[in-house]
Structure 1
């Protein structure tokens, strides 16, 4: 049975990247002409295709819980795999990411990242990266929508611990907007370094928002407690035990 699931997983992965290339190339002229709103729609189309094909091919159902924000907010999300990116983005009307500078230079992903207003950062230069990120959010080109940042800075496997960096708190302080924490259990089914995609129910959950005005370190502690507690609950629901 596990062999069959691996075969299904490989088929799913191959078709996912083929769909990314097909949608990305064929619809890119439309995105260029239509601008940001059209580019966002195309990105969400791909996200919904992955959600549909994951259920159909590997039996991985997906669900978005909680109140999805529609206004201008900061979103601080748990990051376990590529799937949580897709689930979060599929739910938001005007999402954009704080993302690694290298990704903005890649085909397909980079093309659309520029159009939807993603903010590139150089993770290797922490102090300079935060300054550049704060400067970028003040640029009118990046204004409006839901800005998504992963406070731990990278994917973190289920059960693993990693510090919450200061970048999310710095953005929260600079933007003076509410922050919506997001929890997930997707890593239980879609591992960082595995081809296997397991059947089950992968969830991202939008948690109650934190209003602007919290002190930076208190804010960091607050989002860490909210995200980790909710993610542990979702992972336990999926049958994971640390």
Structure 2
């Protein structure tokens, strides 16, 4: 019975979560049209709502550990579910993502994503997209903020190992910015697929900064070691047995 009740609460939560996206998009639309600041305010307001509603509707709390960056850096985050998109963005002041190009056509999400400075990347053409993004940054066209990238490229369930993609290393080298790794255990509570959401505490841990200037192989090995080790520790803390 308790599983059925939690499943129903999860369904109501998810329904209201997507409805809130539409409502927030409409309410903040005039401000978002006027300035990027208005679009960022809309996204932060939506993230606040999701975290607040998750806490009392499904019993899922969010804990931020470490120090989220406020300067111009790359943020390389573990990606396990939609919730980590929300929480990582909400933790930094001017976040922007490298996102799948198809998402720019998504209602509300796509337009606001482009408005806050997200960079759409076509699958299979990431090398070209990265070169263009680097060119835009050097030309001063890219909006300032914290560039959030998922080194594994997609959502990976807890306990599953997947290759870290070299695009993160290329960006690290060309942009010459420090990288802040982020580990999480949110996938233990919020799976990649399905309705059910478990109660508990999802932790997002901002790890020590990796300074610019390392060779790509050394950087990639260090990034993967830091994120995977910390994420495995957080998974175990949440009771996950791989």
Name the TM-score, length of structure 1 as normaliser. Answer: 0.97
Matched, 1:216 2:206: no
Question: Is this contact kept in 2: 1:186–1:203, CA < 8 A?
Answer: yes
Query: How far does residue 29 in structure 1 lie from its aligned partner after superposition?
Result: 1.6
Equivalent position SS for 2:141: helix
Larger mean Cα displacement after TM superposition, 104-113 or 145-154: 104-113
What is the CA–CA distance in structure 2 between the aligned matches of 1:214 and 1:137, rounded to whole Å? Answer: 20
RMSD: 1.1
1:24 and 2:25 equivalent? yes
Report if the CA contact (8 A) 2:28-2:38 is conserved.
Answer: no
**1:27 aligned counterpart, secondary structure:** helix
* Alpha-carbon offset, residue 167 of structure 1: 0.9
TM-score, length-scaled by structure 2: 0.97
Structure 2 CA distance for aligned equivalents of residues 196 and 118 of structure 1: 29
* Cα distance in structure 2, aligned partners of 1:118 and 1:138: 16
Contact 1:88 1:204 survives alignment (8 Å): yes
Runs of 5+ unmatched residues, structure 2: none
Task: Give per-residue Cα distances to partners, 1:168-218, cap 9 Å, x unaligned.
Answer: 111111111110000000000000011001000001110000110000111
Could you say which residue in structure 1 is the equivalent of 2:16?
A: 15
Note if contact 1:74-1:146 (Cα within 8 Å) is conserved in structure 2: yes
Could you tell me how far 1:139 is from its partner in structure 2? 4.5
Does residue 4 in structure 1 map to residue 8 in structure 2?
A: no
Match of 2:203 in 1: 203
CA distance in 2, matches of 1:39, 1:180: 24
Aligned to 1:82: 82
The residue aligned with 2:71 is 71
- The alignment of Structure 1 onto Structure 2 pairs a total of residues equal to 241
Whether contact under 8 Å (1:12, 1:57) holds in the other structure is yes
